[in-house]
Structure 1
């Protein structure tokens, strides 16, 4: 299984590194059955994160034909209300950083990935907002950082306040630390619970919350 982790200018490093290390560790425990690589929509390049001067190196092109799993992170930037920021500060606001990804080839490649039957797309934090702003999650359940749930719902996406949401070929995670839970859940679902359990013990991390999906009975009461 090949997992590609997408980098874009202003990405949140923890959104990438947490699930990357989970799946990388799974590769060591399975003698290479799980492989990971850092990619971008432009191909190999040094990609600046939203926490300068930290950057990561994309070693390949985002390629839905090659990847079994594509992991899309959110952004790191100013979390204040953009209305409260100066014009210069607004360029570093998270909505602006995420919005600039729509000017790249990333939305087209993400759309291609979601249309492929054999490719799983997973997001962490604001990664789901990139898909939503590109019109790729309308009518589908998804989650994101709690500060972005209203924005997610405004795109026609079914915003779910959960740690991880499983909608088949799309798995979305909440805030930044949910990257660990997303990585472990992807590992459990795609490789198996025994390997996922071993990595979970290795990381000394206990996953939080129920993974939400459309399966099962719907609750009769809303609160």
Structure 2
């Protein structure tokens, strides 16, 4: 199984690193080292600059919408008035056709952290779907045609969305529980000394 976390210009680093570490720990504790967590980008391998003081991460490969597993879209960071611009750029980027293809693949679950759902909504991918984003973006999310739900994590089967930036931890733990079971998720919580917050809306 491949768990892909999408990088794009201006991404929020915690939206990426929190689920990356949780999912990697889950795979290790489940005895599934073959399950890979990979940073990806629409343009393939290369450095991608975040929205937080130039912090840069490296995409290892291009987004693969055909690989069974998960595709996770983070939000953006930086000045508050710049975030909608960055999300709007993503919504018009080469990543969108790839994410759309992943959403049509029954072997793939697409997930988002924070503004990632708003970016997908701006791209027209969430019409009629229940979803959550950062509290500051809930009205904007509803305006895209998504059904905005105030919850920490919203699980709609092949689409799982999470709220504000720290909810990347909760998203990761929810996906670990879905994939590997509650005992493994509890073991990851103990390892990270973190207990899940809020409610999962199904």
Q: Partners in 1 of 2:25 and 2:179 — Cα distance?
A: 15
Q: Tell me the secondary structure at the aligned position of residue 69 of structure 1.
A: strand
1:108 aligns with 2:108: no
SS in 2 for 1:57: strand
Whose radius of gyration is greater, 1 or 2? 1
SS in 2 for 1:11: coil
Contiguous gaps of at least 5 residues in structure 1 = 83-92, 214-223
**Structure 1 residue 56 and structure 2 residue 57: aligned?**
yes
Q: What residue ranges of structure 2 are gaps of 5+ in the alignment?
A: none
Secondary structure at 1:70 match in 2 = strand
Q: Which residue of 2 aligns with 1:17?
A: 17
3-state DSSP of counterpart to 1:96: helix
Please name the residue that 1:216 is paired with.
none
Aligned twin of 1:28:
28
2:195 to 185, 192, 206: 206
Q: 1:95-174 alignment to 2 at 5 Å?
A: 95-174=84-163
Distance 1:77 1:67, change over 3 A: farther
Higher relative contact order (CA 8 A, sep 6+): 2
Normalised TM-score (structure 2): 0.97
Separation in 2 of the partners of 1:77 and 1:55? 14
Q: 1:192 to 1:15 in 2, by over 3 A?
A: same
Q: Which residue of 2 aligns with 1:185?
A: 174
Contact 2:5 2:73 in 1 (8 A): yes
Per the TM alignment, residue 53 of structure 1 is displaced from its structure 2 partner at its CA by: 2.5
What SS does the corresponding residue of 2:141 show, helix, strand or coil?
helix
Q: Give the TM-score of the pair, scaled to structure 1.
A: 0.88
RMSD value over aligned CA atoms?
Answer: 1.0
